[in-house]
């Protein structure tokens, strides 16, 4: 739930929720900060302070173990003295991909993987899609032009020769190119889930696209790429 609330607001990072429980009491809960940093684990650990010692930490996605814009969360969890980590899914990002779990286990932390896996996959679908295919997930939206539906990072409107990409912080104009070029361009921007209007002629004319109903987008429908890389 924590992760779902920030979905669409944290790209290029994944929407993650983190809860810390000590002696049966929730001592901290946090989600990835809007904009993607700080990560949920770090926010929750800051909130818990010394109460994290010996506690159980629940988290949507495997804690990071690499130095990105911030130090690794796995180090912060170890330093805080957390006793047990319960996590929904492993992070397929090649910079993590099991390394976070390995670091925690090496430090003597009890690690459980797989709780609420399906829910986590649904919330993280855009992020997982970009890691797997190198392109953001595209969903079809009933919302008006330029309106970004819940859970999407941006809305892409396509005209005759140009496109307009609306994110929550800016509007970017571009040239209308092939579908693959547009997907690559949006992936480069770090986007994980992009909405296009349901009536959009450009995306609808593509024969390689087929529409499937999707669970996590309310009135929106997900476009599936049939010949993904």
Interface with Zn ion (CB under 5 A): 39, 64, 73
Partners of 111 in beta bridges: 85
Instruction: Evaluate whether 90 touches 14 at the Cβ level (below 8 Å).
Output: no
Q: How far is the CB of 39 from Zn ion (least distance, A)?
A: 3
Active site residue 41: yes
Strand partners, 195: 139, 155
Element (H, E) at 169: none
Residues 6 or more apart whose CB falls under 8 angstroms from that of 148 comprise 8, 154, 155, 166, 167, 168, 195
Question: 10 Å Cβ neighbour count for 176?
Answer: 13
Q: Which residue has the closest beta carbon to Zn ion?
A: 73
CB contact at 8 A, 8 and 150 = yes
Of 42 and 129, nearer to Zn ion (C-beta) is: 42
Q: How far is the CB of 78 from Zn ion (least distance, A)?
A: 13
Q: Least separation, in Å, of the C-beta of 60 and Zn ion?
A: 11
Catalytic residue among 5, 29, 41, 228: 41
Q: Which is nearer to Zn ion, 70 or 119 (CB)?
A: 70
Closer Cβ to Zn ion, 14 or 126, answer by number: 14
- Active-site residues, by number, are 41
């Amino acid at each position: 739930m924590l992760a779902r609330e920030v979905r669409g607001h944290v790209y290029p990072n994944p929407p993650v929720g983190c809860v810390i429980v000590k002696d049966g009491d929730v001592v901290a809960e946090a989600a990835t900060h809007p904009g993607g940093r700080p990560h949920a684990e770090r926010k929750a650990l800051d909130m818990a302070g010394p109460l994290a010692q010996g506690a159980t930490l629940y988290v949507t996605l495997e804690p990071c173990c690499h130095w990105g814009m911030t130090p690794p969360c796995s180090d912060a969890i170890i330093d805080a003295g957390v006793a047990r980590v319960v996590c929904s899914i492993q992070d397929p990002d090649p910079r993590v991909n099991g390394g976070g779990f390995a670091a925690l286990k090496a430090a003597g932390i009890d690690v459980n993987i797989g709780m609420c896996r399906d829910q986590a996959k649904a919330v993280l679908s855009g992020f997982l899609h970009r890691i797997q295919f190198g392109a953001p997930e595209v969903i079809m939206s009933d919302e008006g032009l330029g309106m970004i539906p819940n859970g999407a990072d941006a809305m892409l409107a396509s005209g005759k020769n140009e496109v307009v990409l609306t994110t929550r912080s800016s509007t970017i104009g571009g040239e209308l190119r092939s579908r693959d070029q547009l997907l690559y361009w949006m992936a480069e921007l770090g986007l994980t889930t992009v909405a296009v209007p349901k009536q959009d002629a450009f995306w609808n004319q593509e024969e390689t696209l087929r529409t499937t109903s999707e669970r996590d987008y309310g009135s929106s429908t997900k476009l599936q790429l049939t010949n993904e890389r």
